[in-house]
Chain A
Amino acid sequence: MKLHEYQSKQIFGRFGIPVPNGKVADTPEAARQIAQELGGPVVVKAQVLVGGRGKAGGVKLAKTPDDAEARAKEILGMQIKSLPVKKVLIDPAADIREELYLGVVLDRAARRVAVMASAAGGVDIEEVAATTPEKIITVRVDPLIGLADYQARQLAYGIGLKDKKQVGQFVKIVKALYQVFIDTDASLAEINPLAIVGDEGTLMALDGKIVLDDNALFRHPDLAEMRDESEETPAEREARLNGLSYVDLDGTIGCLVNGAGLAMATMDVIKLFGGEPANFLDIGGGARAEKVAAALRIILSDPKVRAVLVNIFGGITRGDEVARGIVQAIEEIKPNVPFVVRVVGTNAEEARKILESANMITAETLAEAAQKAVEVANQPA
């Protein structure tokens, strides 16, 4: 689950990381008022959960409260990568001298938490990693010890900080950001840019990003409440509430599969035979008829869907349960798209009987099922 910039900065502030004293507005008038209170020039920043806001015109400087209102009006109406902008953050404009990068991530290959810093801040860090990897300094943390002071100093000196006060401040921020990461069960906590501002040369987190581990949300009910539901499509939200893994895609063949790997493979095989999957959907292990019906409702709510492919490999999941769920959903929704169903494993025979009486196209193998699904999806309606 991703947090917005303003949410991330609120959390940073609580952990003692210096952040601008901006506020969030959801109307141009509110933006104006905040600008007035702050006094002086401000930055109006779109709050959407995608990267590249700046390039899309979602970040604008405003010199006066009138100007802030006008910029907020423009930005609040925008769509950035098809996500509507519903909130803007109004921050006081900073006198930026240098831009640094600081991030805490899960390093899967090392099986460790890694802290990365770079003097090349303010740009996409993945680009820095790809073109000038030597500009990124990384330390990996022993999970039983935690981040040590010397590691934070390694980062500070590694990116070229020399001023004693700046090094001290940087070390404090590194340790605080690591603590944010641990205490929120994040999979990413990032400050970019961590700016050096003003004549004093103090450090300040001008932008921030936190991605939380969905598996750990059960122990952070306060953070779970920060979810922005516009991050998900309505179908994705419905799936989450039903305990289903679902990802919306662009194709025409709806997929209902048990198991994540098999669900991905099913999509791949559809593509291999010339079709395009409309979604990824894993009903999980041991799904009962009601859950299958909920899954089908989600798939059929997508107007792009021209055919549905059900691929069930029965183990803990019983084929007859799935078949009953399909029949239940079909009686309820009365869809006018064809179904191709392939069930093997536990109680597959019973499943086949139930499905054949419901006039569905059945298949023995995944390849056969995919071919049939592509064929019926491509037929003119």
Chain B
Amino acid sequence: MSILIDNNTRLVVQGITGREGQFHTEQMINYGTNVVAGVTPGRGGQDVLGVPVFDTVAEAVRETGANTSVIFVPAPFAADAILEAADSGVEFIVAITEGIPVLDMVKVKKFVDERGVLLLGPNCPGLITPGVAKVGIIPGSIATSGPVGMVSRSGTLTYEVAYELTLRGIGQSTIVGIGGDPIPGMNFIDVLRRFQDDPQTEVIVLIGEIGGTDEEKAAEFIEEYVTKPVYGFIAGRTAPPGKRMGHAGAIISGGEGTAESKIAALEAAGVKVASHPAEVAEFIERDLRG
């Protein structure tokens, strides 16, 4: 078992003819993901790496039965690409694109929620169910199948922790990157709930960072609903207030969003919070192996 993607995933790649889209489509196919269609307006009828390209997502869904979309469309057009996907019958949308204006995302978030479509991202690395499928850009080499469910706001920091786990022979059920934007689609709670319900997942890793209050809310949820052990890491203990640290959402403003507040909330909810990324794997190794 896994969450969100598995052997039934039929993927359409929006922006398949672009440099990034093409590169990662190849990576996803090589990993075993069932890529059934691509979309680039004006390029319908062509094919990329043997994958048929359509002008619209609706057409791609109709012709190929795609149920999941991944978006590599450049930022100025990415919000529209998410709306198109949400209106075309796919159940799950993964938006990789970084740099979408936040007011666009306020509208998009409401639109996808009203249609009951799941959105992961934007500005995220996507997700991977090791050995089964990956949607997005997480390198397959860092992951191996196992009992740890991972959810994170960061890309490479997640790779770091997954890699440390994999080095110790501890695998992952699914690794989910929810992205670094101020208005994300799925949040920690949406993913934690699924890990709690997933039989393969035995322990959960939550990787957060400064900005916003989603980690604090996740802590409340963990306290109330999560019975599996949760391990955490929060990046940005040394980040100064008022400065955006790379991610659009990684900013301490008005005293809100500090690492201290998040760590305190998580620890109060029984989460073991590590002081450096590798320590997450050390904690889990110790607890799993006794």
Contacts of B211 in A (CB 8 A): 108
Q: Given A109-B217, A268-B235, are A182 and B157 also a contact pair (CB < 8 Å)?
A: no
Contacts of A360 in B (CB 8 A): none
Name the contact of B209 in the complex, choosing from A113, A258, A261, A365 (C-beta under 8 A): A261
**Which of under 10, 10 to 19, 20 to 34, or 35 or more describes the interface residues of B?**
35 or more
* Contact (Cβ within 8 A) A264 B209: yes
State whether the Cβ of A214 lies closer than 8 Å to any Cβ in chain B. Answer: yes
* Contact (Cβ within 8 A) A261 B152: yes
State whether the Cβ of A112 lies closer than 8 Å to any Cβ in chain B. Answer: yes
State whether the Cβ of A303 lies closer than 8 Å to any Cβ in chain B. Answer: no
Contacts of A260 in B (CB 8 A): 154, 180, 209, 245-247, 250
State whether the Cβ of A57 lies closer than 8 Å to any Cβ in chain B. Answer: no
* Contact (Cβ within 8 A) A106 B154: no
* Contact (Cβ within 8 A) B75 A280: no
How many chain-A residues does the 8 Å CB contact rule pick out? 54
State whether the Cβ of B258 lies closer than 8 Å to any Cβ in chain A. Answer: no
State whether the Cβ of B101 lies closer than 8 Å to any Cβ in chain A. Answer: yes
* Contact (Cβ within 8 A) B278 A262: no
Contacts of A358 in B (CB 8 A): none
* Contact (Cβ within 8 A) A315 B102: no
* Contact (Cβ within 8 A) A280 B138: no
The residue of chain A having its C-beta at the shortest distance from the C-beta of B257 within the complex is A108
User: Which A233-276 residues have a C-beta within 8 angstroms of B?
Assistant: 245, 247, 249, 257-265, 267-272
Name the contact of B159 in the complex, choosing from A142, A213, A215, A315 (C-beta under 8 A): A315
* Contact (Cβ within 8 A) B106 A109: no
Contacts of B153 in A (CB 8 A): 261
State whether the Cβ of A345 lies closer than 8 Å to any Cβ in chain B. Answer: yes
- Chain A residues within 8 Å of B, Cβ to Cβ: 106, 108-109, 111-113, 126, 129-130, 142-144, 182, 185, 187, 213-216, 218-219, 245, 247, 249, 257-265, 267-272, 277, 280, 282, 285-286, 313-316, 344-346, 365-367
Q: List 30 A-B contacts (CB under 8 A).
A: A106-B103, A106-B182, A108-B212, A108-B213, A109-B212, A113-B103, A130-B255, A142-B110, A144-B111, A213-B101, A213-B102, A215-B75, A215-B101, A216-B103, A218-B76, A260-B180, A260-B245, A261-B154, A261-B158, A261-B247, A264-B236, A265-B276, A265-B277, A267-B238, A267-B239, A268-B235, A268-B238, A313-B156, A315-B125, A315-B159
